[in-house]
Amino acid sequence: MNELERDYSRLFRLDDKHAVVVGAGSGIGRESALALAAQGARVTCADRDLAAAEETAARGDHLTAYELNVLDEAAITTAAEKLGDVDILVFTAATNVRKRILDYTGEEFDRVVALNLRASFDLIRAFGKHMAARGSGSIMGFSSIRATTVEPGQSVYAATKAGLVQLLRTAAAELGPNGVRVNAIAPGVVETPLTAQIKANQEWYDAYAQKSALARWATPDELAGAVVYLASDASTFVTGSVLNVDGGWTAVGGRFNPPN
């Protein structure tokens, strides 16, 4: 389609598309599922917590709950086969253990890597295989500002998020010739269950808010627009990219505001 044929009034519409959102039971995943459905997509709300997925599905039309444990490779393979043609894959599930490296245990390391990186690897392989065979698709995974900016106590989480970026970029290079686009979204601090520990401490909460140019945290719904954009025809030439949705955190990190 050239620019003379493009209907810009439908640039973000996702009618007749099937999206799978992994981690749709809460937070960014839930808002992503609702936003995709609002643009006309048929959305499978996948989550290990089926009740939470059903709660998301009950909030709008064209939403269906699906129980999926992404730590089970066989379950991911089954889902990719069972759910049929999938045009859009979004995965948000992640965990974090906030400890300094010298205090970390091997079990904790394995737990964070298993969900944040290995599960992502399995999802890309299983769903990307079918997208490549059909010749189209959009995959997006959630990285983090921690892929590029670190702080004490975030070592393994940061390593997995940086690794995820390179995994997604490589998938973009490998699947691009088959018409599949692959991108990363990198949020800043967002009010989700994963950040509840920080939010509960007012001093931490305020300090994190001041790190962004907008001087506040994000809410999960503020990430949904990035998901719709990367899923839609508005981004047909965007792949292998990292879309920062961080309120300017990475632009102004480490800044000093001198007194007037």
pTM of the model: 0.93
209 assigned to some structural domain: no
260 assigned to some structural domain: no
Total domains in the chain come to 1
> Could you give the CA distance from residue 204 to residue 192 in angstroms, rounded to a whole number?
15
7 assigned to some structural domain: no
Active-site residue, from 157, 205, 208, 229: 157
What are the phi and psi torsion angles at 167 (to 5°)?
-65, -45
215 assigned to some structural domain: no
Beta bridge partners of 44: 20, 64
Domain assignment of residue 53, given as a range? 12-190+221-237
210 assigned to some structural domain: no
pLDDT in tens, 24-66: 999 999 999 999 999 999 999 999 999 999 999 999 999 999 9
pLDDT in tens, 118-139: 999 999 999 999 999 999 999 9
- Cα dihedral 158, 162, 168, 171 sign: negative
197 assigned to some structural domain: no
Residue 157 a catalytic site member: yes
* Domain of residue 17, CATH code: 3.40.50.720
DSSP at 102 = G
Beta bridge partners of 94: none
Helices 27-38 and 50-57 cross at an angle (nearest 10°) of 30
pLDDT at 207 over 60: yes
What number is the average pLDDT over the span 185-194? Answer: 88
133 assigned to some structural domain: yes
